[in-house]
Structure 1
Amino acid sequence: MGLYDVFSGPEKKNLTIYIVGIMCYKFALETMTGCMSNIVLTRYKYNPADAWGVIVSVNYACQSIGSLLVAPLIKRWSTPRVLSVSILLFGLLVLIVPILEGVTGGGRTGLGDEKNYAEGTWPPMIIAFLFPAVGIFHGIVELIRRVIPRDIVGGDPVKLKKMDSTVHICYEVAGTAGALLSRYWISYFNYGYSLALIPIFFTGASLIWSQIKLASEQADAEAGRPKLRRHSGSIFGEMAAIFKAFFWSVWVGLKLVCFNRSLAWLIPAYTLPLVLHRYLENVLFAHYANFALSKGSYQQLLVSGSNFGELCGAFFVLMFSNAVPTPIPWLRLDAITLMIVWIFPYATPFANIEGWVWFLAAIMIFISFGWASGDVSLVAYVQSRLAKVEDIDPTVSPLGAVMAFLYVLYIIVFAIVNKVVGNIMDSYVKDLVKTLGSAKKWKPLVGLKATQDAMFWTGGVVMSVCAVIVLVATFIPRGSFALNPQVIDDHDDEADIMASMGTDPAAAARARAEAEKEGKDGEGYARKDMIEAIVA
């Protein structure tokens, strides 16, 4: 059966439109963080590493706020319309930077020469407000792209799986290509002007996505039914209710995670690897490219290797989902591959610096392979672990509550780590900055020794300690001491979770009896759920 054989004609059209749009989105998105980070790290005069860490943390917090806005927005307008308008506004906000660069004299000299490029005279502090602001629209787009597949092809699981897997492949291919190629236009156009790529591609994605026609709307049109009347109540009241529900979910998630053995290990096993992966791509890569190699565009080459590693990791887990039925082996692999980061403080670059960066990008494939394989398998475990208790409380979703708590914890830990790491990096390079000026003016490898000394702590030690914590956490669940455990929970866990939610003890007892009756039918926590989570 061909990939598209299960889809109807309109579904094929919508799927193609959606894929083309999301590839435009991902291709350009890979330029944004690299440009924003380099503007801060090369143009801030005081504590640039510390400043960038804080800005990234606030950006992630704003992304979570944006995701909360989706629910009231799609009650008033169709999902494709919200998506297309959000990404258009996202691109227009980013356009502020290249406009400022142009009107303040950026590029008077040095186009094509990263070190001698004449920067615009606009205040770089604008990034501290702009990057968090775009985070709101980023959060809206990221959440909608996870819910719109059902709007496009309906609820058929076969269609959803085929659509999600196809989109996932195209998304990562575009991301790898975007990160790889952005190194070259950043090297020529520098950071300010390179951001002009984003509004161009985002506007294209907006126009493309605006052509999506929802399956429900098409059915109504064919049947001659009137269009669905959208909700018109107070959006502020709904937003207040959503924020209240979100924080209630975080509280419920805290209780579920902290007081159940089958979930408590998620705090180090899920949160820490996610923090470290974002920290590696957005902070460590930026520090090494700017301060050690004095060429910020090298960050994008490292990110391209990381993106390709994520793609390989997800496919590898999908391929071996039956042979490795729990996330434990993948998480242990993740902990081991984190040790590769010691290459930053200890390895001496080749004489050919660009060849060295390509070598590092290839090494980063293994680190992100470990992270992606652990992440997708662990998310599938959480989904299946809470599936049977999802409907016991009409006011809150246990799965949503647990993920909300873990996400908030991730934001908090990331903010703390970034602040500490930024201060450490600034303390090691401040003398060079004071003597030689901006990092981009340094000769190649002038800052290598100082950066490596800092990365002994901010890279090697931090990653190693966290790797040990993750490795120890994989031995917390019941049955996890096996090399490749088949089951890592037992029948009592489900009843304990229900009790943590305040469910009637009799109902919890019945759930335990039902689970025991099912016996080994539940082993492997539903491999089908794992596959569906991976391709999503």
Structure 2
Amino acid sequence: MGRRLAATLLAFSMVCAEAQAGPVAARVLSAPVGAAQRVAPLSATFALPSSLSLGSLAAPALALTNLPELSIAPALAASAPGTAVSLARPAAFVSGTTPLSAQPAGRAAAPRAAVAKRVAALTQAIAGDSKTLAEAPLASARSDSKTSFDRLLGLNAGTSDASDSVAASARGRRRNPLGREIAAGNRADAPPAPKIASALKTYLAGTALFKLGMEAVGLGVPLIALTVFGQAKWAAMMAVGYGLSQVVFSSLAGGLLDRKSPTKVLAGAMALQALTVTAMIGLFAADLYFPGIAGIQLAQPALILALHALNGGFTGVSDTARQVIPPELVGNNHKQIKLFNAKTHVAYEISGVIGALAVGVILSIASPIAALLIHPPAYLLAAWVFSRIQMPAKAAAPESSFAAAASAVGVGEQSRTSPLAENAARGFALSQIWTDFKKGAHAIWRVKEFRWAAYAMVVPLVLHRLLEGLLIPVAANSLLGNPAAAAWMIGASNFGEMLGAILLIRAVKKAGDSGRFRSPFWIKWMALGLLGLWTLTFAPTLWALVPLVAFGSLTWAASDLSLKTRLQDGLPSRLRGRAFAFVGAAAFAIVLAASLGLGTLFDAVAAAPVFFGVNAVIAVLVATLFYAAKRLQAGDPADPKKDPA
């Protein structure tokens, strides 16, 4: 396409010159032999109307107003006419678009009408080629165009294997749910390179390791608050402190992840989480083995709350990092990202089921404090595994087609410069955290599909966190009278999430994530799965709760993974970390407020009416989720098989 654009520009310039001031080549050939000839600067020859400017190419090497003036030496001016013509117009470009004045003398007289028609046709061709070139990946556009113009000026007579890359990309254009044209090349399903494949396996191993420790804290700390401290209020305060720290640290993590290696950030956050839980265990151990060593009880609720909140902050960093890593490892390929997310979730939930059952066994023979012992070694080992992953350079992966469409409506306009270079001089400050948070919110809010996708992610995420962090422990302790039953319900939840991820993998492989298996399909099933929580009101028995909790988690996992992939593929890479930090912070803020309110209600009144009120609110939210699915489906292309979402 670059060669065709160069040829079209040359032909257009010669026709314009022919129509206005007479043929350039004729003046060269008619000059006396032996005289050096000055040809008008190519900047004048190639001057385009403002409507046809190629400013979008944004490369100094392609500036058409700065091309050099050519001088034809006397020896060349004395050569055969064909030679002189080839200097101004390479022989490869002689075609039906060659100006009549540069063709044999018998056709030198070009009718004005024919010239006008040809000028109009060339103008239209240049406009089309310029648009195609501007929409192609920037690196390919610059390289291809520079090669073509160098060849045009006689600086490079060779050919390039990449000369047709832009045209090949343009030939595969389709339309995405945002209504913008995208390049089919970004949807290729080529297998990952060997180094990337190894990194993916390492990532899955690290995910399985840290999930073991996560179950220990997720079950252990709420039960410590309920059984050791003896109040649901402390269980709620633990959730509030944990969630508040996640909001703050997630906001901070967004900009950090856009500047640093996400795997290094993830490894550091997990090592710090292991340290905070170790400190928590140490306080309980000191009170048990050295009572009164400090004159007071060391494991005070407030101090445990502070450590748990700090652990929650580092969890916010690691959760945000885990949203950024998949597209960086896999590349901007919607189907492959979704498959990788689903495989990661399978490893995550297999480990979660094992961890929950292990915690359940420990709870049946020891206290919740003993369950915390699983966490530090699991997280330290996971931190080491994640630190071994070498991330590919960001510049090596082409920008997602969805991200290009998002940029077209203004998302990412403030982040054209590398965030690392942007902030290298001024460092990292609290004001930068707020700026990053606003940029993440802007990236989500500016695109309608992103807004609805984020809403359909946040609402069930909040309910899921409340279920596992507060509602299940309270139900096990208050409704069932058996704290160990919480482990069975958490295990059922993890098992359901694993099945949801497996189901998503099968759907994507079988149907290519097309048609009914897109995000709206999963959102509707997820909304129906939330209604299963009415069991907590009408049939609070373990045998009824376990399968319904599993089904709700199954549908939630499939929906969450599908929506997560939609955002990962759609967001510009420079804003991906900040956008997910905003989504995570919004979810954690709602979890924080809801946990505080529910904890107060559980202490003030009986558990049964509180669960009834929770289910009534969920019923209303289910209706809004169906509406969100409808809005997302309305934004999808007419032929869903052509563009998975």
1:122-137 paired onto structure 2 within 5 Å: 122-137=299-314
TM-score computed with the length of structure 1 as normaliser: 0.67
Alpha-carbon distance change, 162 to 287 in structure 1, aligned in 2, over 3 angstroms: closer
Structure 1 position 467 matched with structure 2 position 583: no
1:318-357 paired onto structure 2 within 5 Å: 318=505, 319=507, 321-347=513-539, 349=541, 356=542
Match of 2:592 in 1: 415
Alpha-carbon distance change, 145 to 371 in structure 1, aligned in 2, over 3 angstroms: closer
Q: Distance in 2 between matches of 1:425 and 1:107?
A: 35
Match of 1:240 in 2: 431
Which letter maps to 2:279? I
1:140 CA drift (Å): 2.0
Which segments of 5 or more consecutive residues in structure 2 lack a partner in the other structure?
A: 1-189, 292-296, 397-419
Contact 2:262 2:324 in 1 (8 A): no
Alpha-carbon distance change, 230 to 301 in structure 1, aligned in 2, over 3 angstroms: farther
Which segments of 5 or more consecutive residues in structure 1 lack a partner in the other structure?
A: 109-119, 220-227, 350-355, 429-449, 481-485, 491-520, 531-536
Q: Distance in 2 between matches of 1:271 and 1:231?
A: 30
Alpha-carbon distance change, 525 to 107 in structure 1, aligned in 2, over 3 angstroms: farther
Structure 1 position 56 matched with structure 2 position 263: no
Partner SS for 1:363:
helix
Q: Distance in 2 between matches of 1:142 and 1:304?
A: 21
Alpha-carbon distance change, 11 to 241 in structure 1, aligned in 2, over 3 angstroms: same
Which letter maps to 1:524? P
Q: Distance in 2 between matches of 1:460 and 1:16?
A: 44
For residues 50-75 of structure 1, what are the alpha-carbon distances to aligned partners after superposition, in whole Å with 9 as ceiling and x for unaligned?
33223313322322333344456568
State the structure with more CA Rg.
2
For residues 405-425 of structure 1, what are the alpha-carbon distances to aligned partners after superposition, in whole Å with 9 as ceiling and x for unaligned?
654543343333222221221
Partner SS for 1:296:
coil
Partner SS for 1:212:
coil
For residues 292-330 of structure 1, what are the alpha-carbon distances to aligned partners after superposition, in whole Å with 9 as ceiling and x for unaligned?
334333212211111121222344345164341554443
Match of 1:278 in 2: 465
Identity %: 24
Task: Name which of 551, 556, 564 aligns with 1:366.
Answer: 551
1:375-454 paired onto structure 2 within 5 Å: 375-379=560-564, 387=570, 407-428=584-605, 450=606, 454=607
For residues 100-133 of structure 1, what are the alpha-carbon distances to aligned partners after superposition, in whole Å with 9 as ceiling and x for unaligned?
121111799xxxxxxxxxxx87212222211110
1:475 CA drift (Å): 3.9
Contact 2:220 2:369 in 1 (8 A): yes
Contact 2:276 2:311 in 1 (8 A): yes
Match of 2:204 in 1: 19
Partner SS for 1:236:
coil
1:157 CA drift (Å): 6.9
Alpha-carbon distance change, 135 to 80 in structure 1, aligned in 2, over 3 angstroms: same
Q: Distance in 2 between matches of 1:68 and 1:182?
A: 31
Number of aligned residues? 423
Which letter maps to 1:16? K
Task: Name which of 322, 340, 357 aligns with 1:180.
Answer: 357
Q: Distance in 2 between matches of 1:274 and 1:195?
A: 24
The two structures, once aligned, show a CA RMSD in angstroms of 4.1
Which letter maps to 2:548? I
Match of 1:293 in 2: 480
1:341 CA drift (Å): 2.0
Q: Distance in 1 between matches of 2:377 and 2:471?
A: 29
Match of 1:117 in 2: none
Match of 1:83 in 2: 266
1:152 CA drift (Å): 4.7
TM-score computed with the length of structure 2 as normaliser: 0.57
Q: Distance in 2 between matches of 1:127 and 1:301?
A: 25
Match of 1:513 in 2: none
Alpha-carbon distance change, 273 to 213 in structure 1, aligned in 2, over 3 angstroms: closer
Partner SS for 2:516:
coil
Alpha-carbon distance change, 372 to 96 in structure 1, aligned in 2, over 3 angstroms: same
For residues 420-461 of structure 1, what are the alpha-carbon distances to aligned partners after superposition, in whole Å with 9 as ceiling and x for unaligned?
221221123xxxxxxxxxxxxxxxxxxxxx5xxx23x33233
Match of 1:489 in 2: 635
Partner SS for 2:288:
coil
1:134-213 paired onto structure 2 within 5 Å: 134-149=311-326, 152=329, 163-213=340-390
Q: Distance in 2 between matches of 1:400 and 1:525?
A: 31
1:112-131 paired onto structure 2 within 5 Å: 122-131=299-308
Q: Distance in 2 between matches of 1:95 and 1:173?
A: 25
Contact 1:149 1:160 in 2 (8 A): yes
Q: Distance in 1 between matches of 2:358 and 2:471?
A: 20
